Structure 1
Amino acid sequence: MRVTAQRAQLRWTGGAVTEAIRQAAARGALLAAEHVLQASRQHVPIAEGTLERSGTASVDARQLTAAVSYDTPYAVRVHEDLNARHAPGRSAKYLESVLPQEAATVQAIIAAQVRRTLR
């Protein structure tokens, strides 16, 4: 029996893989923030719809952080006023109350983007 030498070559692309994962995580964070935005819009108090339309989702890809914000002069006041009366299903804490409910979905959205990149 004759044994022949086998050769293999390995090319390490760890830096490229790390960057691809980072980009996927940023993409997932934006998609997750958009999901939270949509969920919070279901609870935003509505008078004319201006507050609801002012909502936006953003991501800082470098820091891997995402944000959901509402941009009207009264957004914070409406969010924090627990004594105000709103239509059924609409409430103060329209953003803060949604986050714990959507945490598992947010994690799943980000994880799906990372998994897709690693295929």
Structure 2
Amino acid sequence: MSRTRLRWNGDAATGAIREAAARGLLLGAEHVLAASRQRVPINEGTLERSGATSVDESTMTATVSYDTPYARRVHEDMTARHSPGRSSKYLESVLPETAGEVQALIAAQIRRALG
């Protein structure tokens, strides 16, 4: 009878998966930011340049934001006229369109960590 010894490093595996998921969240948020920058209304470019991403690893949530005093107003004003290809809801509108790609980015990072 042969014996096999198995060492289970569950905590290390869980930690590696969590770190990979956080990296994937950041990549996904950056992807959403890039897509929304293609739609953000441009006057001087200040709003577009104010876009940023962040990840809270404790809650595993990612944030995409625009940081100007008028970002919310421009995003929500459906009556404003913008250049072709630019629109209000510039962030909200890209979320459903990029969801699959964001999921794939997260999954790829997790697969890589388990590789």
TM-score, L = length of structure 1: 0.95
2:9 maps to a residue whose letter is: T
Length, aligned pairs only: 115
- Counterpart code for 2:14: T
Could you say which residue in structure 1 is the equivalent of 2:96? 100
How far apart in 1 are the matches of 2:76 and 2:55?
24
Please say if 1:48 is aligned against 2:44.
Answer: yes
Give the aligned CA root-mean-square deviation in angstroms: 0.5
Q: Does residue 1:112 correspond to 2:96, yes or no?
A: no
2:57 pairs with 1:57: no
Residue 33 of structure 1 aligns to which amino acid in structure 2? A
In structure 1, what is the equivalent of residue 27 of structure 2?
31
Structure 1 residue ranges, 4+ long, deviating more than 6 angstroms after superposition: none
Aligned partner of 2:12: which letter? A
Structure 2: gaps of 5 or more residues: none
Q: Which runs of 5+ in 1 are unaligned?
A: none
1:52-77 per-residue CA deviation (whole Å, 9 max, x = no partner) reads 00000110011110000000000000
Q: TM-score, normalised by structure 2?
A: 0.99
Q: Partner letter of residue 57 of structure 2?
A: A
| Percent of aligned pairs with the same amino acid | 70
Distance in 1, matches of 2:2 and 2:97, equals 55
Residue identity opposite 1:21 in structure 2? I
Letter in 2 for 1:10: L
Deviation at 1:8, TM superposition (A): 1.2
